[in-house]
Each structure stands twice: as structure tokens, then as C-alpha cells.
Amino acid sequence: MSDSTTPSERSGRPGGPGRPVRSGRPRTVLLRGGEVHSPADPFATAMVVEGDSIAWVGSEGAADSFADGVDEVVHLDGALVTPAFTDAHVHTTATGLALTGLDLSGARSPAEALARIREYAGARPGERVLLGHGWDSTDWPGGRPPTRAELDEATGGRPLYLTRVDVHSALVTTALLDLLPAATDVTALPGRHGDAPLTGAAHHAVRALAHASVTPAQRAEAQRAALRHAAAHGIGTLHECAGPDISGADDLTGLLALAAEEPGPRVVGYWAELVTSAADAGRVRELGAVGAAGDLFADGSLGSHTAHLHAPYADADHRGTGLLDAGAVAAHVAACTEAGLQAGFHAIGDAALSTVTEGVRAAAGRVGTGRVRAARHRIEHAEMLTPDTVAAFAEFALTASVQPAFDAAWGGEDGMYARRLGRERARTLNPYAALLRAGVPLAFGSDSPVTPLDPWGALRAAAFHRTPGHRISVRAAFTAHTRGGWRAIGRDDAGVLVPGAPADYALWRTGDLVVQVPDDRIAAWSTDPRSGTPGLPDLTPGRELPVCLRTVVAGRTVYEHPNE
């Protein structure tokens, strides 16, 4: 890939290798000599960007007529151009802290985790509270995490807050508990069970304490690290799922301000707090959030045994915890609908999803089904769906904001889902094909740092779901990870490369383009251009995923691959 520009416009490449590029004013740019993924022209090889919008998409021959009238020509050298991805569920600061801090993902035993903790603590003698993420004891010897005494020894008696991979439980040291205010008796809070990982209210109390230790400078640097990482993966928009029990108002407002001031991915904010009045809705808007949604918890997670189920867990003698009832759901949805504000919930277990859909139905009875549908309320994760709850999603036009990497990580006959639920129930999880057949809008995300920012990996996970009946085509998955996120915030004109759409796009180095559908027919792998369907990279497991060469948001380059 190469560029040509007039000397007055550019002399050298701004920014450093692999870093966001501080480009100047938006210009008119012609991209040519590649593959442009556009429904406007399935054979397009060129595109013109004018300012912050797509101006034209077409063939190489027609591109000649634009070449002399643009400020910049980008010779794609066969690169693929796609809309930038939208990640519809992210925790940006936590992602940045995981990228720059103590990462226990991949640790294979308590001993390995403790060794990493010991090394990390030794390298940071001045940090008041040590923060880490990503442990998962499911496959560790004995299935146990480190004990508190072991953590105390590894840290030298220092405060440590260490979230499980699903972020719904945490390990802490005695020194961190000792920092809690005298009025907070963590032993009396729900979610404290001896030496076990903290969940529920006990977890929220220590999380607030740990996050309070992060200075504004540390927080901003973590946010920048996460935004840089997203841009390097072709992500142009992030939906930040914030809330009082997750990250705090200062974290959300600081992130939105930083994203508005510095080149990088767009950030759309959600605030997870119940709304019962116009005044409540006004406070959500004052924070800069587009909705009272995201991780507004109706339950917890399967990994931490806190998702709310109709029948007990296969490996525990309880059904998890429901955090909202249908009345609270109905009041929230009705108030948000009347205020013109998007509502939404975190719901994973089948009982939680039944509660949410029952509440949405009650709200529709109060304010009208048409108004509820028009508001595009959304449900995060929506893993343990039934035919009835899928039908309710379709009836009320609820967006399913889902994370295909969850199935890749925990699905399958011997995965964490099967251990928690038994194989039969586990096979019902994340039914993307059923959602699409019912007409439910899908928006894909990562829930980072729970799973990585990796959009092509998410597409592969959806197209090659561990339960074959839940698989969807790569094209449908691609739409859910591009247009789906924009539609989830009420924008139907974005996330696609057509004239008039925002100039949010990414350039990719990839292999042959194919049209993949979720079955074993030879036609599933068609490369015949007569199909009139734009191709996408072959995501068959084992093949290399595309490499991002450049990410552009609103016409401005925010990432450029080293040496490109």
C-alpha cells in the first residue's frame, strides 16, 4: 500500500509506527487498486472520501476521473477496505489497565498465577493498590484459585484486587479489605463467603475501593492504551458500558472527553442506573450517555455462578441470583421510553432473561408497543435464551448485544458452560441463528477485558459456533459487527461504505475473499463474482486472520501499521 500526495499537503508520514496518527484537516482522498466491501457495488475497487464522509464507490476505470482533483491518492496494492468495526460492549479503562497491568489470562495453575503476581508486585513498589485481571480457575488443578493467605504472601502483604475473567468475582488480599471504611462490614455483605472469591455487593464494595486508587493520570493513560489497541484492530467505535457499580461517573465523563479531544475511535457511552422519572433520565444525559443501559445487572455470570437460572446449576446447589424483578424492569423501560432514552440490561441466565422480557412486556402495556419498539432498547449478553424469550426480543425490537468470543472460550461439550449447566442446557446458549431467523437485531462486541478486542476473531466464532445449529454466515456476522452497532444507537446510515455514510473504514492485508455460509455445501465457499455478493476473508479456523494496515475515523487516520 502506498500514498501519493501534493507536497503542500504532506511531506512524510505523521506519527510513529503503530501509533495513532495526528493527521491534519480532513481532505479529499481517493483510494484505488484494492477491494472495497460495499453493497453499492460488489465489484468496487476504489473509493473517494470527502472530509468526514464517503463520496463515491466504484470501479478502477471510473477512478481515473477523480485522480487529478483530490488531495491524496492511496494505492491499496490489493488491500481490502471495509467499514470500521463497532465493538458494542467494552469497559475501556479496565481494558487499558489489563493491557498495561497484571494480566493472568492464560495462567494454568495457582502456582503460575502466584508467580506472576509476585513478579508484578516486586516491579511496582510504589503502587498503593495492585490491580490485575483475567484469572480463571475452571481448568486449574483442583479447580481452585489461590487462597487469601497465598495472595498475602505473594504481594508481601500489600493491597491487591484481582478480577476473574468474567469480572463478576474477584480475589483480594487482607490488606485491601483492611482499607475499607470502618462502616463497611464486608463480612455482612452478600457475596462474601469465607475465603472464596467475592461476588455481589461485597465485590462492588472492594471494586469501588480499588478503582478509587487509580489516579486521573493513570486512568487517562489506561484509556489511551485501550483506544490505541482498538484502533489497531480496525475498530472505529466503542460502546462504553459504564455505571455506578462498574467504573463511576468520573471515569465515563473523562473517557468521553478524552475521546472527543484526541484522534481515535469514537466512544458512545451508556450508564447502568435505574431510571424512574424524567429527572433520572436527565442525569443520565448530563453524563453524556446515550442510554440508561449496558451493564444494568439483572443477574451475574455463569462462570461465577451468579447468572440467574430457572433450574439449579449442574455443579452447584443453587440457581444464581436475580438482581431485578419484572416490576423494576417495567418501570425503567417505561420511564426511559417516555423520556426518549434507550434502556437496557445485562441478562445472561434464562430466569434473568424471562424477568427482563416480562418487564418489557409490562412496559409496552403502559406506553405502547410501538413506542417501545422505536426506542431500540437493548439487552447485553442474552446467552441463555429460550424460544419464548427470542420471540419477545423480536416482538419488542430488542437489540441483542452479544459476544461470540464467549462461545469460543467457554462453549463445547467439555467447556465451562457444560460444567456449569450440563451439556444439554449448554448447547442452547448463544443461539445466533435463531435470533436472526426471528428478525432480532444483533450487535457484536467483546465485553473487553473479558474477551479481547478482536473483531475478526468474533466473526470466526459466530460462523463456526461450537453448536453447529447456532452458526450464522460470515456476512451476517460482519453486519452485526459493523452496521449492527450503529443501528443499536439509532443510526441506520452508518457502518457501511456507501455515499453519504461516515468515513469510518479500515484497510486490511488478507488472503482470498469468499462468501461463507454456515453449512458444508460446496456453494458455501463460493468465489464466483457473478453472485453479486461482496466477498470477505476466509475465516476457516486455522487460517490467518486479516491484519489491519490503517484505521480511519471521520476521515482522519487514527492508526497506521508499522512499515506500511
Q: Are 77 and 507 in contact (CB under 8 A)?
A: no
Q: Which amino acid is at 331?
A: A
Q: Confirm if 457 and 408 have CB atoms less than 8 A apart.
A: yes
127 contacts 161 by C-beta, under 8 angstroms: no
Q: Which of 437, 438, 455, 459 is nearest to 446 (CA)?
A: 455
Do 488 and 401 touch, CB atoms closer than 8 A?
yes
Q: What is the pLDDT of residue 14?
A: 31
The pLDDT of residue 2: 66
Supply φ then ψ for residue 511, to 5 degrees. Answer: -90, -155
Q: What is the pLDDT of residue 209?
A: 85
Secondary structure (DSSP) of 257-276: HHHHHSSS-EEEEEE-----
Integer Cα distance of 116 and 13 in angstroms: 39
Give the residue from 209, 142, 140 showing the smallest Cα distance to 170. 209
Q: Nearest 5°: CA angle at 465, between 461 and 468?
A: 160
Query: What integer pLDDT is reported at residue 518 of this predicted model?
Result: 75
CB 48 within 8 A of CB 6: no
- Indicate the CATH number of 219-489 among 1.10.760.10, 3.20.20.140, 3.40.50.300, 3.30.70.100: 3.20.20.140
pLDDT digit string (tens) for 440-499?
A: 999 999 999 999 999 999 999 999 999 999 999 999 999 999 999 999 999 999 999 999
How far apart, in whole angstroms, are the C-alpha atoms of residue 446 and residue 478? 14
- CATH 3.10.310.70 in the chain, residue ranges: 92-213
73: CB partners within 8 A, 6+ apart: 3, 4, 5, 29, 30, 31, 32, 67
Taking the C-alpha atoms of residue 374 and residue 512, their distance in angstroms, rounded to an integer, is 40
pLDDT, one tens digit per residue, over 311-362 is: 999 999 999 999 999 999 999 999 999 999 999 999 999 999 999 999 999 9
Q: How confident is the model at residue 532, as a pLDDT?
A: 59
Q: What was the pLDDT predicted at 293?
A: 98
CATH superfamily label, 26-83+497-510+546-563: Urease, subunit C, domain 1 (2.30.40.10)
User: How far apart are the C-alpha atoms of 57 and 562, rounded to whole Å?
Assistant: 27
Domain with CATH 3.20.20.140 in the chain: 219-489
CATH architecture entry for 92-213 = Roll (3.10)
| Digit-coded pLDDT (tens) for 175-226 | 998 888 866 777 677 877 777 888 888 888 888 888 788 888 889 999 999 9
What pLDDT does residue 3 have?
Answer: 64
Distance of CA 433 to the CA centre of its chain: 20
CATH 2.30.40.10 positions along the chain are 26-83+497-510+546-563
Classify residue 147 as left (phi > 0), alpha (psi -120 to 50) or beta.
beta
Q: What's the confidence (pLDDT) of residue 133?
A: 85
Grid cell 498475602 — which residue?
Answer: 152
Burial, 413: exposed, middle or buried (Cβ in 10 Å; 0-12, 13-18, 19+)? exposed
Instruction: Report which residue type is found at 70.
Output: V
Say how many CA atoms lie within 13 Å of 511 toward its Cβ.
9
C-beta of residue 355 within 8 angstroms of C-beta of residue 389: no
Place of cell 463467603: 193
Burial (CB count <10 Å: 0-12, 13-18, 19+), residue 533: middle
pLDDT of residue 9: 36
SS3 per residue for 107-151: CCCHHHHHHHHHHHHHHCCCCCCEEEEEECHHHCHHHCCCCHHHH
Q: Count the Cβ atoms, other than its own, within 10 Å of residue 315.
A: 13
- pLDDT number for residue 526: 40
Where are the strands (E) in 123-227, listed by range? 130-135, 160-164, 170-172
Are 346 and 298 in contact, with CB atoms under 8 Å apart? yes
Pairwise CA distance, residues 415 & 307, whole Å: 17
What confidence score (pLDDT) does residue 355 get? 98
Which pLDDT score, from 0 to 100, does residue 26 have?
57
Looking at residue 519, its pLDDT comes to: 61
Nearest to 35 by CA among 509, 398, 461, 404: 509
pTM, 2 dp: 0.88
- Residue 201's alpha-carbon distances to 169, 196, 218, 250, in angstroms, are 10, 14, 26, 21
Kindly give the parts of the chain with pLDDT less than 50: 5-23, 25, 520-531
DSSP line for 55-103: EEEE-HHHHTTTGGG-SEEEE-TT-EEEEPEEEEEE-HHHHHHHHHSEE
